[in-house]
Structure 1
Amino acid sequence: MDPPSTPIMCRVELRRTALNSVLLLYLFGVFGLSQVCSIEVTTPSELHATKGDTVRLPCTFTSTASPTSKMRVSWSYTPQTGGPALVFFHFLSKAELPKTGQFAGRIKWQGTPARGDVSIYLINATLNDNGTYTCDVTNPPDVFGSPKSHTVLTVTPKPTTIRFSDVAVLMAFILLPSGLITFFLVGRMLCPKKRHNQSKAYRSPIEVTEGEETGVSPQAAYIKSTTCCDMCLMDSDEEEEYYSMQKMHPREEEYVESQC
């Protein structure tokens, strides 16, 4: 009876071994993999900029392990027209900026890995920078999960605008001198007419002396208006003045004598 019990015991032992193996695999999957699959990288889906701007390409990550010297960050670029991805930036203990190619001298590292920030700046954006930018972070032992994230950058031409300084310069060097010259010429044309009109302005009866309205000089008008009766009433001084004026205007003298 003893021999038949041996196979049964072996089967029980095999079942126990298999059960322990499954339990170990389960525990490893729950506790082991959860420790290496928790990294998460995040970037905005889209970014918009104007030509010539400095664009911030933000990228953050979360990890169960603190960043160490083994943490690696890389940025790659895929053109909008398509093609292979170009890795242009690396960070491994320190930033390795691009020295050649499209992004040479135009990338600035502004990340803080201890705070989960691995962002960069793109200086003087151009229309050729349109495309997809990928941020890739690995932080051992967290090497699985979602270590990459993509953002699409769209750069548009800068709109043409007239600055106030440009308008001021235009007015100072073109419009202002031409306006002064025009004002001077118009003034020269109008001033003679104004003086001519003033010379012919209406004069009141008080301003018009006797003899001016008939075109005769004041002295001649005085002699002409003198009658014989007036001459009789003149004193010696007035007679001398009268005769002196008669010598200057002999025609008026004849006219006075005819009245007498």
Structure 2
Amino acid sequence: MRVLHQGAGAVNVVLLLCLFACFAPSLVSSITVSSPAELHASKGDTVILPCSFISTSRPTSKMTVDWSYRHQSGGPPQIFFHFSSQAFPPPEGQFMGRIRWHGSPARGDASIALINATLNDNGTYTCSVRNPPDVYGSPLSQTVLTVTPKSASIRFTDVAILLAFILLPSALITLILIGRMLCSKQRLDQSKAYRSPIEVTDGEEYGDHLPAAKVKKTTCCDLYMMDPEDIEEHYKLKTRSPIDEGFAESQC
């Protein structure tokens, strides 16, 4: 009977140990890490990779944060950032000089910033937080980043530059051409209104002669009644140089 009692006691101890082993992790594994499942960004943007955690223990110098990256084509993840009391950015590789610590452990924030995102940065980013004694639970969280080419857009500054270098010179050239046209027209009007004192127009005669409209034209009858000397003088006048065009000619 004593042996049976001792055997029953041993079984109870084993059951208690099994129960403790099953429920003990749930008592201390209260850390939970979370991050968005997907992120989208454009090429050249600064992307914030969020990562938050909840822990029953206050963050201490023993808390660590690790960020790893796996390319979208596959392959094993590679740790490129580590935080333990201070940030340790990647000293080499594709993320060198492009990762900044953006977290605050006291606020449960373990985020980082990715500067100048490229199409080669597409892949899965994993955030891992350890805060002893909270070492169980869900210390990992993953985010899939998709970087796309930036769409072309016209900014206000671009429009202002186009106006300054295209429309303004065009307007200035148009004003200059209009000014030249007005000046040319004015000069033409002045040239028409001005006449030289020696200029003779149609219907005028030189000297003290009367206008051609008032000169009586010589007819055949007049020539018939002229004296011979007058007729000779008439033909002399007719054969003179073109400067005497003001004199009337016979229509015979």
Q: TM-score, normalised by structure 1?
A: 0.67
- The verdict on how the C-alpha distance between 1:94 and 1:188 changes in structure 2, with shifts beyond 3 A counting, is closer
Which one has the bigger helix percentage? 1
Return the letter of the residue paired with 1:55: V
Task: Specify the alignment match of 2:2 in structure 1.
Answer: 9
Task: Specify the alignment match of 1:164 in structure 2.
Answer: 156
- Offset, 1:250: 6.2
CA separation in 2, counterparts of 1:146 and 1:28? Answer: 18
1:78-89 superposed matches below 5 A: 78-89=70-81
Task: Specify the alignment match of 1:225 in structure 2.
Answer: none
CA separation in 2, counterparts of 1:18 and 1:54? Answer: 61
Q: TM-score, normalised by structure 2?
A: 0.68
Q: Which runs of no fewer than 5 residues in structure 2 stay unpaired?
A: 193-201, 217-252
Task: Specify the alignment match of 2:92 in structure 1.
Answer: 100
Task: Specify the alignment match of 1:111 in structure 2.
Answer: 103
- The verdict on how the C-alpha distance between 1:18 and 1:47 changes in structure 2, with shifts beyond 3 A counting, is same
- The verdict on how the C-alpha distance between 1:104 and 1:17 changes in structure 2, with shifts beyond 3 A counting, is same
CA separation in 1, counterparts of 2:169 and 2:18? Answer: 92
Task: Specify the alignment match of 2:22 in structure 1.
Answer: 29
CA separation in 2, counterparts of 1:53 and 1:19? Answer: 62
1:162-241 superposed matches below 5 A: 162-185=154-177, 188-189=180-181
Q: How many residues align?
A: 205
- The verdict on how the C-alpha distance between 1:139 and 1:168 changes in structure 2, with shifts beyond 3 A counting, is closer
1:24-103 superposed matches below 5 A: 24-30=17-23, 32-103=24-95
- The verdict on how the C-alpha distance between 1:254 and 1:45 changes in structure 2, with shifts beyond 3 A counting, is closer
Tell whether the 8 Å contact from 1:90 to 1:97 is kept in structure 2 after alignment. Answer: yes
Q: Matched residues, percent identical? A: 58
CA separation in 2, counterparts of 1:41 and 1:250? Answer: 120
- Offset, 1:197: 8.1
Tell whether the 8 Å contact from 1:107 to 1:123 is kept in structure 2 after alignment. Answer: yes
- The verdict on how the C-alpha distance between 1:115 and 1:193 changes in structure 2, with shifts beyond 3 A counting, is closer
For residues 69-97 of structure 1, what are the alpha-carbon distances to aligned partners after superposition, in whole Å with 9 as ceiling and x for unaligned?
A: 22221000111122221211111222111
Return the letter of the residue paired with 2:116: N
- The verdict on how the C-alpha distance between 1:167 and 1:68 changes in structure 2, with shifts beyond 3 A counting, is closer
- The verdict on how the C-alpha distance between 1:42 and 1:248 changes in structure 2, with shifts beyond 3 A counting, is same
Tell whether the 8 Å contact from 1:35 to 1:142 is kept in structure 2 after alignment. Answer: no
Question: Once superposed, what is the RMSD of the aligned Cα atoms?
Answer: 3.3
- Offset, 1:165: 2.9
Give secondary structure in 2 for the equivalent of 1:173.
Answer: helix
CA separation in 1, counterparts of 2:85 and 2:170? Answer: 66
- Offset, 1:182: 4.4
- The verdict on how the C-alpha distance between 1:216 and 1:151 changes in structure 2, with shifts beyond 3 A counting, is same
For residues 144-176 of structure 1, what are the alpha-carbon distances to aligned partners after superposition, in whole Å with 9 as ceiling and x for unaligned?
A: 221111001111112222333333333333443
Tell whether the 8 Å contact from 1:35 to 1:64 is kept in structure 2 after alignment. Answer: no
Q: Which runs of no fewer than 5 residues in structure 1 stay unpaired?
A: 1-7, 201-214, 218-246, 256-260
- Offset, 1:187: 5.4
Task: Specify the alignment match of 2:233 in structure 1.
Answer: none
Return the letter of the residue paired with 1:39: I
For residues 186-237 of structure 1, what are the alpha-carbon distances to aligned partners after superposition, in whole Å with 9 as ceiling and x for unaligned?
A: 554576568768999xxxxxxxxxxxxxx989xxxxxxxxxxxxxxxxxxxx
CA separation in 2, counterparts of 1:13 and 1:41? Answer: 46
Task: Specify the alignment match of 1:131 in structure 2.
Answer: 123
CA separation in 2, counterparts of 1:253 and 1:100? Answer: 111
CA separation in 1, counterparts of 2:167 and 2:210? Answer: 67
Return the letter of the residue paired with 1:81: S
Give secondary structure in 2 for the equivalent of 1:34.
Answer: helix
